[in-house]
Amino acid sequence: MKIRSTEREHKFTQTLFTELNIFSIQGLTLSADHNFTACIEAIQYEDNETINLRAIFPVLDVKAKHHLSTVLAIPFYYLIYKNGHYFIHQVECNPEPTFTTIADFNEEKFIEWWQKIKGQKQTKEVFEAQVRIDSSVFDNVLAKYKLAWGGNIDGYMFKEKHIACIIENIYTQKNPLDSPKGDPYYYFKGKGPNYNTWYPTVKLASILKIPLFLFTIQGNSDDAKIGFAIIEHLSTEEIHYLDGIFPHKNIIEGKDNIKKMILSKLNVKAPYIKS
């Protein structure tokens, strides 16, 4: 069994997210008219494996993903691949998770279904995440039809039973955190996250009226250290940081200091998209 994920393994980030009740969702699809359509997780099974939906994610994680879909008034799906079949399961929590099979598709029917929930075109390659999805049956079949998966949400934090902030993780492998090239701003019009990449995350934070934080993280180190910035707004020209504070100039070290920084900024205004 393999869960589709673009996220890399990073011990410090995982520890921080666990301690702060931060969860992720691998798929948040947008229609052609920029409306969210579904929260999605995808899992592929070997032919000899038994499908056990309750064993995929911890219950708390399932409830967190379902909560996000509820707030957005969109469905939460598990996409399951096994033996040439694409099963679509809708997830509900009443209050415990339940799973209802709503479709059993062949390849062509799955593509038709996907095109209905994802109208936004993929305009940017995934670069560093490519190695993590090369063996994904979902990404491969979408690529076959010149389609793509789309966006995910790296982190959303629960505090007092409400989503308190959205987090975007950007890993730098070659360049140090305190250099301009360790900052996604530098690559906005190049190979890095651009307007279309940022759009779903900024839109989500804007809809939920909560802040959007950027963490830049040294991918080849597990040190408790991040570059920290708050997104003020997105334009077609650049991503704008609040108060002009760039993450490569705002390095926070030590887990406790990082947690204090995050918690102290939860009252910051939500970002907006400048047309």
pLDDT at 192: 85
What is the value of pTM for the model shown? 0.92
pLDDT at 121: 61
Q: Are strands 27-30 and 251-253 parallel, antiparallel or unpaired?
A: unpaired
pLDDT at 129: 46
Cβ atoms of residues 211 and 165 within 8 Å: yes
pLDDT at 5: 85
pLDDT at 119: 80
Calculate the dihedral angle through the C-alpha atoms of 253, 256, 257, 260, rounding to the nearest 10 degrees: 150
Rg of the chain (C-alpha set): 18
Q: Which residues contact 76 (CB under 8 A, 6 or more apart)?
A: 38, 39, 40, 65, 66, 68, 69, 90, 91, 92
Cβ atoms of residues 216 and 227 within 8 Å: yes
Q: Residue 117 corresponds to which tokens in the numbers above?
A: 């929930």
The span from the first CA to the last CA of the chain, in angstroms, equals 43
Q: Which residues contact 27 (CB under 8 A, 6 or more apart)?
A: 38, 39, 40, 41, 42, 149, 150, 151, 152
pLDDT at 275: 77
Cβ atoms of residues 65 and 25 within 8 Å: yes
pLDDT at 133: 46
CA separation for the pair 243, 250 (Å, rounded): 12
The alpha helices in 22-118, defined as continuous H runs, are 59-72, 107-117
The residue whose two tokens read 């995350």 is 201
- pLDDT truncated to tens, each residue of the chain (275 aa)? 999 887 777 899 999 999 999 999 999 999 999 999 999 999 999 999 999 999 999 999 999 999 999 999 999 999 999 999 999 999 999 999 999 999 999 999 999 999 999 986 654 444 444 444 456 899 999 999 999 997 899 999 999 889 999 999 999 988 999 999 999 999 999 888 999 999 999 999 999 999 999 999 998 898 999 999 999 999 999 999 999 999 999 999 999 999 999 999 999 999 999 97
CA separation for the pair 252, 232 (Å, rounded): 19
The residue whose two tokens read 């802040």 is 211
pLDDT at 191: 84
